[in-house]
Amino acid sequence: MEFTSPVPFEEAIASLKRRGLMPTTANSYELAGLPADLREQALFASKLNDAHTLQAIQDALAGIVQPEGRAPGESVNTATARVAIRKALAQCGYAPEPCKEGTIEDLSSERRLNLIIQTNTDLARGRGSWLAMQDPDMLDEFPCWELFRLEEREVPRNWELRWRSNGGKFFDGRMIARKDDRIWYDISRFGTPYPPFDYNSGMWTDDVSRSEAEYLGVIDPDEAVEAQKAPKLAMQSVVGELAPFLLREVMALFGDRVTLSEGILSLSSA
């Protein structure tokens, strides 16, 4: 099988490095209201209002996702990333709130740092794989995805209900859909059409071949799956429901490239 226009995984690495640093005082619930196209352009963490620490996170993520070319002593993994981020937090004088030390609300805790590192590296890898498969030959050979549990969780979310509630269909009891189906956006907490679809979910996708997809009735023999372009920041985003302080933080990220009028944020092409 020859791919006519493969997209290099380096494009996903570049997108990670291009993400602007957005210090924020917002919590996870408030940040969930950010439009997906804005989320794609920003690197942030709940209640992390320090650009220096965000830079340390971005550097660590780049090292994990793209380890090639580093000397043995310069390699980055989750453990060394935690050390670098904790150092940055200490330099900015961070201290967890009383009685929250070691919890998910403690930015320096192993649990919270692991969540930040894993979510962002998984998003970069998911994006890279998604970009690489946007090739007509590859989509013809493997036109569908199956959502499956890659890692077990003590208290797993009900993904079957989430799938069904968003219009997903089951084929022989499996959650399968075309790769260009809207379902992949709809089940995602992040508004992106590739895994991960939520924090620490343990869910991922697996390719389903055309022969299997046709056998199961997911797709007809003459159906073609359309290649999709990488999500980009829209020229306009509806942000009227964001908290005023979070809106100010978003606007600070883009500087003089944005204007706000009647709850619509407009981005210049410059």
205 and 121 both lie in a single domain? no
User: Which residues, other chains included, contact 140 with Cβ-Cβ below 8 Å and sequence gap of 6+?
Assistant: 210, 224, 225
Domain identity same for 125 and 157: no
* Torsion of the alpha carbons at 139, 144, 148 and 150, rounded to the nearest 10: -10
Examine the domain organization and report whether 63 and 144 are in the same domain: no
- This prediction has a pTM of 0.82
Domains in the chain: how many in total?
A: 2
204 neighbors 188 (Cβ within 8 angstroms):
no
Using the 8-state DSSP alphabet, how is residue 40 labeled? T
206: nearest Cα among 159, 142, 152 = 142
Same domain, 125 and 83: yes
* Same domain? 85 vs 195: no
86, part of any domain: yes
Q: What is the per-residue pLDDT for 198?
A: 95
Shared domain for 124 and 161, answered yes or no, is no
Q: Are 205 and 145 in contact (CB under 8 A)?
A: yes
Tokens standing for 269? Answer: 């092409």
- Let me know the angle formed at the C-alpha of 12 by 6 and 18, rounded to the nearest 5 degrees: 135
Residue 207 domain boundaries = 136-216
DSSP per residue over 141-157, as a string?
HS-EEEEEESS--SS--
Do residues 140 and 225 make contact, with C-beta atoms less than 8 angstroms apart?
yes
Using DSSP's 3-state secondary structure scheme, residue 119 falls into helix
pLDDT in tens, the chain (270 residues): 333 333 445 766 777 777 889 999 999 889 988 888 788 889 999 999 999 999 999 999 888 877 665 555 556 789 999 999 999 999 999 999 999 999 999 999 999 999 999 998 888 888 888 888 888 999 999 999 999 999 999 999 999 999 999 999 999 999 999 999 999 999 999 888 999 999 999 999 999 999 999 999 999 999 999 998 866 655 667 777 888 899 899 889 888 888 888 878 777 755
- Residue 99, helix vs strand vs coil: coil
Q: Could you tell me which of 106, 87, 88 has the C-alpha nearest to residue 96?
A: 106
- For the chain, what's the residue count? 270
- ∠ CA(120), CA(122), CA(125), 5° rounding? 110
pLDDT value at position 174?
98
Please report whether residue 59 resides in a domain: yes
3-state secondary structure of 179: coil
How many CA atoms lie less than 13 Å away from 15 in the CB half-sphere? 23
Residues 26 and 48: their CA atoms lie apart, in Å, by 8
261 falls within a domain = no
Q: Is residue 119 part of a domain?
A: yes
Closest CA to 198 of 207, 185, 189: 189
141 and 177 share a domain? Answer: yes
